[in-house]
Amino acid sequence: MPRFKLTIEYAGTRYSGWQIQKNARTIQGEIDRAVRTATGRSDFELYGSGRTDAGVHALAQVAHLDVSTNVPAEQLRRRINDELPADINILAADRVPHRFHARHDAVARRYLYQIARRRTAFAKAFVWWVKEPLALDRMRGGARDLVGMRDFKAFAESDQPDSEAPAKSTVVLVERLDVVEDGDLVLVSVEGSHFLWKMVRRIVGALVEVGRGHAMPSDPARFTAPPSGLFLERVFYEGEPRDVPIRAATPLA
């Protein structure tokens, strides 16, 4: 049975996250349905590089698909896309060796969070509008304090759902944490080995509190940023370049 690496973009606004759930519409569930229709098969495996929560988006989520088919990868991609809703799109499908695993082979993940400094009529679903002025120098100082191998227990949501396996450790390597201006947006880019449940949103929440002047960089995280501004930007594998520039997903002029 051939294995395909799928690179997927999606707007998560209408979905209850990546993973298939009973009585909920999810990204994986929509792709699963599309694969069944496109291939006529039900005996296949679709495995993502990681989960995104309800309302969270992806610019390049990665999954591997094991399905018995003689259809070439590009034709399979087009057939699956024909069955998907407009807010989910398979960007690429590549035939890969069976030893490739979308989750276990990932060496790093990069998330992008978009904070809007003005009200927007068009990008509300993809930003967090913060009305108060933000001191970016303070935010950058707080970001520097979070880079490295650290215990991020204070940034992990404690009431994780039953479907989530408890984390064995709250120690995470954050390799990069940048705060960048892009027009009317403030972009927070976080790159690391892996992330705890809601960790990125709590980091952003803490940095915004610091930027507002409501907290010190050393204070524990107390606020979780909304999911609307969060994108899974990239999943990196061995040998892939990591010097990808930080850019807005939905620019505000």
Question: 127: closest CA among 11, 237, 49, 24?
Answer: 11
End-to-end CA distance of the chain: 47
- Looking at residue 163, its pLDDT comes to 42
Alpha-carbon distance 208 to 249, whole Å? 20
Residues of the chain scoring pLDDT < 70: 158-167, 217-218, 220, 253
**Is 53 among the catalytic positions?**
yes
One of 32, 53, 137, 178 is an active-site residue; which one? 53
- Looking at residue 161, its pLDDT comes to 52
Alpha-carbon distance 61 to 48, whole Å? 8
For the chain, the helix, strand and coil percentages under 3-state DSSP, each to the nearest 5: 25, 30, 45
Task: Give the helix/strand (H/E) hosting 96.
Answer: strand 88-96
List the structure tokens of 237. 């594998």
- Looking at residue 221, its pLDDT comes to 73
Radius of gyration of the chain (CA): 19
In eight-state DSSP terms, residue 86 is T
The single residue listed with the structure tokens 């064995």 is 168
- Looking at residue 99, its pLDDT comes to 97
The single residue listed with the structure tokens 């591997």 is 64
Q: At what angle do helices 73-82 and 27-39 cross, to 10 degrees?
A: 110
- Looking at residue 159, its pLDDT comes to 55
- Looking at residue 217, its pLDDT comes to 65
Give the burial class of 190: count Cβ atoms within 10 A of its Cβ; 0-12 exposed, 13-18 middle, 19 or more buried: buried
List the structure tokens of 169. 């450790």
Domains in the chain with CATH codes: 3-96 (3.30.70.580), 107-237 (3.30.70.660)
Task: Give the residue ranges of DSSP H helices in the chain.
Answer: 27-39, 73-82, 136-144, 199-212
